[in-house]
Protein backbone atom coordinates (compact mmCIF):
# COMPACT_ATOMS: atom_id res chain seq x y z
CA UNK A 1 0.00 0.00 0.00
CA UNK A 2 1.28 3.48 -0.83
CA UNK A 3 0.95 6.66 1.20
CA UNK A 4 -1.77 7.95 -1.17
CA UNK A 5 -3.74 4.70 -0.90
CA UNK A 6 -3.42 4.77 2.90
CA UNK A 7 -4.68 8.38 3.09
CA UNK A 8 -7.51 7.67 0.61
CA UNK A 9 -8.68 4.66 2.59
CA UNK A 10 -8.46 6.64 5.84
CA UNK A 11 -10.53 9.47 4.29
CA UNK A 12 -13.13 7.01 2.96
CA UNK A 13 -13.40 5.27 6.34
CA UNK A 14 -13.83 8.55 8.20
CA UNK A 15 -16.29 10.17 5.79
CA UNK A 16 -19.80 10.25 7.22
CA UNK A 17 -18.57 9.34 10.71
CA UNK A 18 -16.80 12.51 11.82
CA UNK A 19 -16.70 16.16 10.78
CA UNK A 20 -14.79 17.25 7.69
CA UNK A 21 -12.50 19.35 9.89
CA UNK A 22 -11.56 16.26 11.91
CA UNK A 23 -10.99 14.29 8.69
CA UNK A 24 -8.69 16.99 7.33
CA UNK A 25 -6.84 17.32 10.65
CA UNK A 26 -6.17 13.57 10.75
CA UNK A 27 -5.19 13.34 7.09
CA UNK A 28 -2.72 16.21 7.56
CA UNK A 29 -1.37 14.62 10.74
CA UNK A 30 -0.79 11.19 9.17
CA UNK A 31 0.65 12.66 5.97
CA UNK A 32 3.10 14.76 8.02
CA UNK A 33 3.93 11.76 10.20
CA UNK A 34 4.63 9.53 7.19
CA UNK A 35 6.79 12.21 5.52
CA UNK A 36 8.73 12.83 8.75
CA UNK A 37 9.44 9.14 9.27
CA UNK A 38 10.56 8.77 5.63
CA UNK A 39 12.95 11.72 6.10
CA UNK A 40 14.36 9.93 9.14
CA UNK A 41 15.35 7.08 6.86
CA UNK A 42 12.48 4.63 7.09
CA UNK A 43 10.88 3.30 3.94
CA UNK A 44 7.28 4.18 3.12
CA UNK A 45 6.33 0.53 3.54
CA UNK A 46 7.89 0.36 7.05
CA UNK A 47 6.05 3.49 8.16
CA UNK A 48 2.70 2.30 6.82
CA UNK A 49 3.17 -1.15 8.36
CA UNK A 50 3.86 0.57 11.70
CA UNK A 51 0.65 2.55 11.44
CA UNK A 52 -1.49 -0.48 10.74
CA UNK A 53 -4.83 -0.57 9.00
CA UNK A 54 -6.31 2.80 8.01
CA UNK A 55 -9.78 1.35 8.70
CA UNK A 56 -8.76 0.49 12.26
CA UNK A 57 -7.28 3.96 12.71
CA UNK A 58 -10.51 5.47 11.36
CA UNK A 59 -12.54 3.40 13.81
CA UNK A 60 -10.38 4.59 16.71
CA UNK A 61 -10.67 8.20 15.56
CA UNK A 62 -14.46 7.86 15.22
CA UNK A 63 -14.86 6.29 18.68
CA UNK A 64 -12.61 8.90 20.27
CA UNK A 65 -14.55 11.72 18.60
CA UNK A 66 -17.85 10.23 19.80
CA UNK A 67 -16.50 9.88 23.36
CA UNK A 68 -15.23 13.47 23.28
CA UNK A 69 -18.61 14.69 22.03
CA UNK A 70 -20.33 12.82 24.86
CA UNK A 71 -17.90 14.22 27.42
CA UNK A 72 -18.39 17.67 25.95
CA UNK A 73 -22.16 17.33 26.19
CA UNK A 74 -21.90 16.14 29.79
CA UNK A 75 -19.51 18.95 30.64
CA UNK A 76 -21.90 21.49 29.10
CA UNK A 77 -24.79 19.95 31.03
CA UNK A 78 -22.80 20.08 34.28
CA UNK A 79 -21.86 23.68 33.56
CA UNK A 80 -25.53 24.53 32.99
CA UNK A 81 -26.43 22.89 36.32
CA UNK A 82 -23.71 24.83 38.14
CA UNK A 83 -24.93 28.07 36.57
CA UNK A 84 -28.48 27.26 37.66
CA UNK A 85 -27.27 26.62 41.21
CA UNK A 86 -25.33 29.90 41.23
CA UNK A 87 -28.46 31.70 40.02
CA UNK A 88 -30.51 29.98 42.72
CA UNK A 89 -28.06 30.98 45.43
CA UNK A 90 -27.96 34.54 44.13
CA UNK A 91 -31.75 34.74 44.28
CA UNK A 92 -31.75 33.43 47.89
CA UNK A 93 -29.83 36.46 49.14
CA UNK A 94 -31.93 39.54 49.80
CA UNK A 95 -30.49 42.85 48.63
CA UNK A 96 -29.29 45.24 51.35
CA UNK A 97 -32.12 47.69 50.81
CA UNK A 98 -34.73 44.97 51.32
CA UNK A 99 -33.07 43.92 54.58
CA UNK A 100 -33.27 47.56 55.77
CA UNK A 101 -36.97 47.71 54.89
CA UNK A 102 -37.65 44.51 56.87
CA UNK A 103 -35.72 45.82 59.90
CA UNK A 104 -37.59 49.15 59.70
CA UNK A 105 -40.91 47.30 59.48
CA UNK A 106 -40.10 45.22 62.56
CA UNK A 107 -39.13 48.36 64.48
CA UNK A 108 -42.44 50.05 63.56
CA UNK A 109 -44.40 46.95 64.63
CA UNK A 110 -42.61 46.86 68.02
CA UNK A 111 -43.22 50.61 68.48
CA UNK A 112 -46.94 50.21 67.75
CA UNK A 113 -47.34 47.29 70.17
CA UNK A 114 -45.52 49.16 72.95
CA UNK A 115 -47.46 52.40 72.28
CA UNK A 116 -50.86 50.68 72.31
CA UNK A 117 -49.96 48.75 75.45
CA UNK A 118 -48.73 51.94 77.17
CA UNK A 119 -51.90 53.81 76.18
CA UNK A 120 -54.22 51.04 77.39
CA UNK A 121 -52.29 50.20 80.58
CA UNK A 122 -53.96 52.84 82.83
CA UNK A 123 -57.41 51.75 81.69
CA UNK A 124 -56.63 48.04 82.14
CA UNK A 125 -55.07 48.74 85.57
CA UNK A 126 -58.13 50.74 86.70
CA UNK A 127 -60.52 48.00 85.57
CA UNK A 128 -58.47 45.32 87.35
CA UNK A 129 -58.34 47.36 90.57
CA UNK A 130 -62.10 47.94 90.41
CA UNK A 131 -62.70 44.22 89.92
CA UNK A 132 -60.54 43.37 92.94
CA UNK A 133 -62.32 45.94 95.10
CA UNK A 134 -65.77 44.69 94.02
CA UNK A 135 -64.75 41.10 94.74
CA UNK A 136 -63.35 42.06 98.13
CA UNK A 137 -66.54 43.99 99.01
CA UNK A 138 -68.78 41.08 97.99
CA UNK A 139 -66.89 38.73 100.27
CA UNK A 140 -67.48 41.04 103.28
CA UNK A 141 -71.27 40.94 102.82
Residues 104 and 88 occupy one common structural domain: no
- Do 86 and 120 lie in one domain? The reply is no
- Both 85 and 115 in one domain: the answer is no
Burial of 23 from C-beta contacts in 10 A (0-12 / 13-18 / 19+): buried
pLDDT of residue 134: 92
**Residue 45 and residue 113 share a domain:** no
100 and 126 part of one domain: yes
Tens digits of per-residue pLDDT, 51-93? 999 999 999 999 888 888 777 677 777 777 877 777 666 656 7
What pLDDT was estimated at residue 90? 61
Q: Report the largest interatomic distance among the alpha carbons of the chain, rounded to a whole angstrom.
A: 134
pLDDT of residue 72: 67
Cβ-proximal residues to 3 (8 Å cutoff; 6+ apart), any chain: 31, 34, 44, 48
- In this structure, are 7 and 68 located in the same domain? yes
- The count of structural domains within the chain is 2
Which residue range is the domain that position 82 belongs to? 1-93
Looking at the structure, tell me whether residues 100 and 86 fall in a common domain: no
Whether residue 121 is found in the same domain as residue 56? no
* Same domain as 103, residue 36: no
Same domain membership, residue 75 and residue 102 = no
Amino acid sequence: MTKEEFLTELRTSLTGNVSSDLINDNLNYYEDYINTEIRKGKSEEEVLDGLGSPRLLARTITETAAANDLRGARAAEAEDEEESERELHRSDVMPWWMILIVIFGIMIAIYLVVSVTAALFPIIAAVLIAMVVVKFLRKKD
